[in-house]
């Protein structure tokens, strides 16, 4: 059984399992799926004061905090006990393209040449980690939710703002991956 869990799952297994979270949440308690709102809940719990944005009944959303903790501890369990000792298999065309930018170390889940503590102090590393993190956070707040909330929950409940947000996320990802990222990688 453990060997089955360690293997990569095909899309036709993982996709429906993710998709089934929507009806499960709606049936079990009329809950909405999303991760980015959990930061707001943490701030509402931890930041006493009169900030209007954090003045709401966060206790109704406590289930979401358990969901996020489950994701975190699930990641810890997976990284500790379910690690595949085989090297990550990447397409040779991708390896060749990335080697042009000096990215050759794939000994981790993310390329060490891009994301590591010593690379954080370089212009490229700072732009990738700090700038990228800021843009993701800003985009999630500006769009009123993250990609998981809009693309999984919002689209399945036929919400127009989620369609606009998802199309915008996809267009932004295309522009970033094809035009902006190659420029950043040459720095």
Model pLDDT for residues 67-96, shown as the tens digit of each residue: 889 999 999 998 888 877 777 788 999 999
- Mean model confidence pLDDT for the chain: 86
Alpha helices in 30-159 (DSSP H): 37-46, 62-81, 92-100, 123-126, 132-142, 147, 155-156
Span 94-106, mean pLDDT? 89
**Extents of the domains making up the chain:** 1-83, 114-187
Distance in angstroms (rounded) separating the CA atoms of residues 100 and 185:
9
Distance in angstroms (rounded) separating the CA atoms of residues 176 and 187:
15
> What integer pLDDT is reported at residue 79 of this predicted model?
84
> What integer pLDDT is reported at residue 81 of this predicted model?
84
> What integer pLDDT is reported at residue 109 of this predicted model?
75
Residue 36 has pLDDT above 80, yes or no: yes
pLDDT tens digit sequence for 143-187: 888 888 898 888 888 999 999 999 999 999 999 999 998 888 887
> What integer pLDDT is reported at residue 15 of this predicted model?
83
Q: What angle do CA 114, 119, 123 make, to 5 degrees?
A: 95
**Cβ atoms of 113 and 119 closer than 8 Å:** yes
Q: What is the pTM of this model?
A: 0.75
**Cβ atoms of 58 and 41 closer than 8 Å:** yes
Percent of the chain exceeding pLDDT 90 equals 18
Distance in angstroms (rounded) separating the CA atoms of residues 174 and 159:
23
């Amino acid at each position: 059984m453990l060997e089955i869990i360690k293997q990569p799952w095909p899309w036709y297994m993982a996709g429906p399992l993710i998709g089934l979270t929507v009806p499960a949440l709606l049936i079990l308690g009329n809950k909405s799926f999303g991760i980015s709102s959990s930061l707001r809940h943490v701030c509402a719990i931890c930041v006493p004061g009169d900030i209007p944005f954090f003045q709401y009944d966060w206790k109704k959303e406590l289930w979401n905090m358990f969901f996020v903790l489950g994701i975190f501890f699930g990641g810890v369990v997976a990284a500790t006990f379910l690690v595949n000792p085989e090297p990550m298999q990447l397409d040779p065309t991708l390896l060749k393209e990335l080697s042009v930018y000096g990215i050759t170390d794939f000994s981790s889940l993310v390329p060490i040449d891009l994301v590591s503590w010593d690379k954080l102090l370089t212009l490229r590393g700072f732009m990738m980690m700090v700038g990228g993190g800021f843009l993701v956070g800003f985009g999630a707040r500006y769009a009123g939710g993250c990609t998981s909330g809009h693309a999984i929950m919002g689209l399945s409940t036929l919400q127009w703002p989620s369609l606009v947000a998802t199309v915008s996320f996809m267009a932004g990802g295309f522009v970033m991956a094809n035009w902006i990222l190659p420029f950043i990688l040459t720095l």
